[in-house]
């Protein structure tokens, strides 16, 4: 089983989409092992998006992600990283497939509603950035025998 980091961005919170978005991953069969609201500091934003620090969109990106609270979560399941990326849709919401989070709920690339780790290594790094070990809960679900064969 694999874990990935997902985050409903400030536009998703303001637009009342937390429930819809969590429900998509929950109903898919993934297990939520971490969940919280937080306001990201500039320092944390710059760390989280460090790979983009030389890009022209870096400053607006940091402004956006720190502009209001976010909903942070860690989900667990088979191939969670790649499956969640598929469910989110591509970065530009106008190009994202219709059933995806960004395809359903976004228009502009700078308001693309959700973040998800892009590799298992990024997932590990991002989970550690946003969650303490004791904020992640290990538990079993009886329903998992109906999710996995
Ligand atoms: P993703 O969020 O799909 O992993 P990314 O890591 O390449 O995409 O970029 C992080 C965020 O930065 C992305 O969600 C939106 C913003 N961004 C990326 N490319 C951009 C661009 N060309 N113009 C404006 N914002 C962009
Ligand atoms: Mg990315």
Atom of ligand 1 nearest to the CA of 90: 3
* Sequential DSSP letters for 17-70: -HHHHHHHHHHHTPEEEEEEEE---HHHHHHHTGGGTTSTTHHHHHHHHTSS-E
Pocket test for ligand 1, best of 109, 114, 118, 123 (most atoms within 8 A of CB): 109
Q: What torsion do the CA atoms of 105, 23, 115, 12 make, to the nearest 10 degrees?
A: 50
What is the pTM (predicted TM-score) of this model? 0.98
Residue nearest ligand 1's atom 8 by CA: 91
Nearest ligand, measured from the Cα of 9: 1
Per-residue model confidence as pLDDT tens for the chain (149 residues): 999 999 999 999 999 999 999 999 999 999 999 999 999 999 999 999 999 999 999 999 999 999 999 999 999 999 999 999 999 999 999 999 999 999 999 999 999 999 999 999 999 999 999 999 999 999 999 999 999 99
Catalytic residues: 115
């Amino acid at each position: 089983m694999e874990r990935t980091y997902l985050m409903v961005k400030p536009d998703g919170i303001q637009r009342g989409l937390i429930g819809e978005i969590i429900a998509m991953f929950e109903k898919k069969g993934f297990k939520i092992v971490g969940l919280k609201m937080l306001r990201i500091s500039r320092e944390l934003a710059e760390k989280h998006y460090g790979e983009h620090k030389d890009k022209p969109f870096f400053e607006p990106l940091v402004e956006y992600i720190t502009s209001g609270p976010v909903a942070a979560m860690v989900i667990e399941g088979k191939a969670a990283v790649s499956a969640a990326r598929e469910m989110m849709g591509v970065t530009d919401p106008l190009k994202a497939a219709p059933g995806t989070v960004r395809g359903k709920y976004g228009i502009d690339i700078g308001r693309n509603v959700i973040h998800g780790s892009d590799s298992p290594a990024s997932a590990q790094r991002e989970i550690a950035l946003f969650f303490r070990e004791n904020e992640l809960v290990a538990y079993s679900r009886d329903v998992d025998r109906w999710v996995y064969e």
